Structure 1
């Protein structure tokens, strides 16, 4: 709804609530002990699907109040947000590289398998988040980039052939009329039908497992562990 909210009342209060919710899904990097290893056994889970939605909404509303992060957020909270963004961005780069390697060279039917469909959607999600994070890292923050959300079809523009004048438009006399051969009918654009059945459920619930790659799970949304996941395979 965020791109269509218009001149929202209490914009600052609503943007602040959205910002607070976004922070819940953008973890801080785990603390390190003296020997340089993480104090926790597992790194925080990165909920990419939720972050794509929340970050997109924050980005859309932020256009209406571009000084929010500079004037409405105190310095300590802004510093905390930048640390979270940086940590999340590092995790993104790891998974984007892994997804591209997994999909490299695959075309046609190879991309239509259940596993590869999920990877394609996962790549859209991570690329979108990456674009939005780069905007927020600008000084001052920028809100100019546009993304196509992972669950929406890409809109293709088609060139419309110019309309040919009719015989009457070319002249009212019978002698001036020309027989115009009708243009071949262009195939109607196919109406996008969202995936249904088993695949739809998988997209809504896929998670990243350490040994199982991207696959369906009980938790909602696409998630993965933190940035120390370079050795994992799909």
Structure 2
């Protein structure tokens, strides 16, 4: 459950500077590590800042016609290391310099998208809806994971500098939480995080990145973000 510890409710907006880099220098590794660890000691929680490129729902309160996607994070190598340092500090397992350096090397040339989402159906209706969808949209079963709306996420694309990259979904979930419906009533829903890792060896530091994907019911999303705003 470690990877979903930060729901969209905890994704605080804040300012950032500089630009995206394909790999991190030793100084940037230390800076990301310090930033992540410092945020775990503040009441405000983890500050995603401009890496949160799109948000649809705040907290666990659903608006009328809310999509199942709650928020989209475009995670650069710097943000990924900062996030890991934050989580490690929360668990009282501080990253050593060697661990941070190893992680940074593994993140080089990769952009990761994190989709925070919730099921459009109540927990009690989830399995029935899953069975109906399975009849028309064949999917590969994952025996280790509970059947849920997350099974219906497919490949996403990211277009950067005129080139389009494709990534398959990796799912964390489903988990459950109590959502507040537009009517004011509460309802337990499944939720989870969908990860897309795009391998982009020559990651530009300027320009735009355009993400395209569909949710579990086939609703299409197209989200553009400015790489100049990230680091």
Q: Which has the higher helix share?
A: 1
| Structure holding more strand per residue | 2
TM over 0.5: no
TM-score by length of structure 1 reads 0.29
Report the TM-score, using the length of structure 2 for normalisation. 0.29
